[in-house]
Structure formats: C-alpha cells, structure tokens
Amino acid sequence: MKLKSYPVKGKFGKFGGRFVPETLIPALDELEKAYLKFSKDRKFKMELDYYLREYAGRPTPLYFASNLTRVMGGARIYLKREDLLHGGAHKINNTIGQALLAKKMGKERIIAETGAGQHGVATAMACAALGLKCEIYMGSKDIERQKLNVFRMKLLGATVHSVVMGSQTLKDAINEALRDWITNVRTTYYLLGSVVGPHPYPMMVCDFQSVIGREIKQQIRKLVKKIPSAIIACVGGGSNAIGTFHEFLDDKISLYGVEAGGKGFSIEKHSATLCAGTEGILHGMLSYLLQDNNGQILDTHSIAAGLDYPGVGPEHSFLQSMERVKYTNVSDADAVNSFLTLSNYEGILPALESAHALAYAMKIVKNYRKNDVIVVTLSGRGDKDVEVVEQYLEMDND
C-alpha cells in the first residue's frame, strides 16, 4: 500500500473521520468540494506559490550544522530552516493556504482558535495580507499568559475573543470556534491550525505543509546526492511533522516524531499523546488522546507551548499503528539542553518545540556513520522562548 496517497474519504485506517454535529456536515462538504477544486486549479496554485515565496519567504534553506555535527560525532545533521519564515515558524504555510482558499470561496470572515497565540498571530498575518476579517478564540487563561501575542494579533487587525468555559485554554477555544462556525457557517471560514479536526482539515493542512518535505527532498539531493538516513520533527498537533514526513512515507528512511515528555509520565505532566494516550474522539476526529478512564480530557504540560495539546492528528495515529513512523518523546530538561547547544554552537535559537526534535537527533546521531545524513525540521525560531528558558534555568529543576 502506498502510504502517501492516503486518505480515503477522510479516514486514515480507522482514524480521522467527521465526528461533528449534523449541522456542520454541509459546511465540511462545501469546504472539501472547494478545496478539491482549487487545489487542482492552476491560478490558485500560482497565487499560493507567489505568497509563499514573496510574502512568507520560501524556499527555506536546508542548513548543514557543521559545528553541531563536529561536537556530537556521527551522522551529518542538516536543519530545515522553517524558523526563517515570516512570523518565525511553519504555521504561515497553512494560514496563507487556507486564507487564500477562504477568499476563493467568497468567505470574508475568518475565525480561528489559538492556544499560546502562535496560530492566532499567523492567521491574523495571512488575513491582513489577503484583506480578510479575522476573529480569534483564545482561552482566558491563555490570554493572561500570552499578553504579547494578544497585542500582536490586535496590531495585525484581528479581534480576540476571550473563552471563559472549561479549563479556559486551547481545547475550549476550539469548542467555541466550532460553535461560532455552526452559527455563522454561510459567511464564515474556520481556519484550523494543525492536522487535526474533522475531514477535510487533516488532509488539507497536510497538503499545505507538505511543501517542507518536498523542498527537503530536492535540496538534500543537490547537497549530498542521496536520501537521508533519518528525518526528525516535533509533534504537537502534528502539522510540521506530517509536512516533513509526507514526501518520504514510501521511501526507505527512518522517520521520528518527537512528542513532549514534559516533567515525566509518572507525575502525568507531559503531552506525549501517541506515546502515552488511548484512542478516543475529540474535536471531530478519532485519534489518540490524553484522557482518563471516563473519557475526560487530561491536563497537559510542556515547556513548549506549541506542543501542549491533548490530541494529535489522525494520520499520525495511523502511521504509528502501521509502524511507519516511530513516535518518541523528549523531556523539558533535554529540550532546554538542546536549545542551549544549538544557540551556542550554531548561533541559531530554536523554538522550544523544535528543540524537542533536535534533542532526539542529538541522542541518536552517534548510532550513525559519518557519511549518513540526518535532517531535523526546525519548525520555528526561539526568540519567543528566551524568557521561558531564563526562568527554567533560574529554577531548581532537580
């Protein structure tokens, strides 16, 4: 079976699907139809290419981390520099793609959810660039914790709605955004931030992010004239990882998805959904979840705000069940350590999310020979995380 050509009608094996109120089905049908039409449309593809190139800054470099390679010993480490994109992360690949689709569909009002604020900012940027109205749902606790990102969204012309339901964080913001969409489906486009949610979102977001892996394949061929031995990416909802892996699913390459091991499984302070979760339904999809025996969603933790989500994209659950991708996890401490290492040796501050992938690369690099190549997707830059790292280093973490 060719893994790359999945999904079939929104199902990845038994995972995925559309577990939503009936009133949303016509909207999802309309979205799927429009996406299938425009994703094949030459003019749409040209416009998307234009914005990715001239606005977002694609293609991003594939950088040989020669200092890190020398210090670590083992395979050569290459970094896919999504951190150099406009906004500082891969998220703009998806928000530009969906905002352009919304515009083609004649939807002038965009809604989105955000946790730490990064997807909210990336959505507000795309909407400003394309002249669309933007409203962001955000848990009131997150609004309190992420004041600067809230201000950024406002500067970019977005309205931010505070969600005071439930735990007042990301999962509640998603629920509110879905509620808004049900009410305003005719005029409104819901711009989801990762490869999660009901079909067609996981398929669509994967397509928009797959530019990462396509570029890696071209670039690595030119640079070393062979395919890498291993490719590593961090997994929150899973969009930068799927975007990295997809082009390589049918190749003989080890693929590693790295989740947030946080402070450890024994005290249940982590967000390693595939490593420690169970099957269930959340946000319109069947996938792995962090839940208790009654199906109640557990509180999650990661030092990297972007990995702090109790679910994961259904395609990852499928790829784990097929044993095509190995999912593993890295602790807060190891992520901070790799953040410091890369900053010090390469002059690149990685996002703490990306530092998880990097930490795993540093763990396995010695198992390879000098001629082997390992690619790590640097999903974002770490300027946003310097305060968190400073606080972490000041704390007594033993």
Residue 89 binding ligand PLP, by CB under 6 A: yes
**Separation CA 109–CA 190 (nearest Å):** 9
- Write down the least CB distance from residue 239 to ligand PLP, Å: 3
User: Is 240 one of the binding residues for ligand PLP (CB under 6 A)?
Assistant: yes
Q: Could you tell me which residues are beta bridge partners of residue 314? A: none
In the numeric block, the tokens 């901070």 are attached to 336
Query: Is residue 379 annotated as a catalytic residue, yes or no?
Result: yes
Per-residue contact string for residues 314-353; x = within reach of ligand PLP by CB under 6 A: -------------------------------------x-x
Pick 156 or 234: Cβ nearer ligand PLP: 234
> Given candidates 69, 95, 98, 379, which one binds ligand PLP under the rule CB under 6 A?
379
Nearest to 257 by CA among 269, 270, 273: 273
254 given a catalytic annotation: no
Which residue in 63, 88, 21 sits closest to 385, CA to CA?
Answer: 88
- Give the distance from CA 329 to its chain's centroid: 16
Catalytic residue selected from 210, 229, 317, 379: 379
To ligand PLP, the closest distance from the beta carbon of 166 in angstroms equals 21
Task: Candidates 134-142, 181-189, 210-218, 234-242: pick the segment binding ligand PLP (CB under 6 A).
Answer: 234-242
**Which of 228, 262, 306, 311: binder of ligand PLP (CB under 6 A)?**
306
Q: How many CA atoms lie within 13 A of 316 on its CB side?
A: 39
Alpha helices in 133-200 (DSSP H): 140-145, 147-155, 170-183
Going from the C-alpha of 118 to that of each of 74, 109, 144, 170, 176, the distances in angstroms are: 34, 19, 15, 12, 18
Which residues ranging from 59 to 78 are in contact with ligand PLP (CB under 6 A)?
Answer: none
Within 13 Å of residue 388, how many CA atoms lie on the same side as its CB?
21
Options 113, 176, 346, 353, the catalytic residue: 113
Count the site residues for ligand PLP by CB under 6 A. 19
d(CA 392, CA 395): 5
CB-hemisphere CA count at 13 Å for 285? 31
**Window 194-233: residues binding ligand PLP (CB under 6 A):** 194
* Active-site residue, from 80, 91, 103, 171: 91
Letters for 98-137 (x = contact with ligand PLP by CB under 6 A, - = none) are: --------------------x-------------------
Distance CA 376, CA 358 (A): 6
Question: Using CA atoms, how far apart are residues 107 and 259, in angstroms rounded to an integer?
Answer: 35
Kindly give, in sequence order, each residue whose CB lies less than 8 Å from that of residue 74, ignoring residues fewer than 6 positions away. 365, 366, 367, 368, 369, 370, 372
238 touches ligand PLP by CB under 6 A: yes
Question: C-beta of 156: minimal distance to ligand PLP in Å?
Answer: 16
346 classed as catalytic: no
CB of 312 to ligand PLP, least distance (A): 8
Q: In the bound complex, what is the minimum distance in angstroms from residue 114's beta carbon to ligand PLP?
A: 10
Residues of this chain that interact with ligand PLP (CB under 6 A) are 89, 91, 118, 194, 234-241, 306-307, 351, 353-354, 379-380
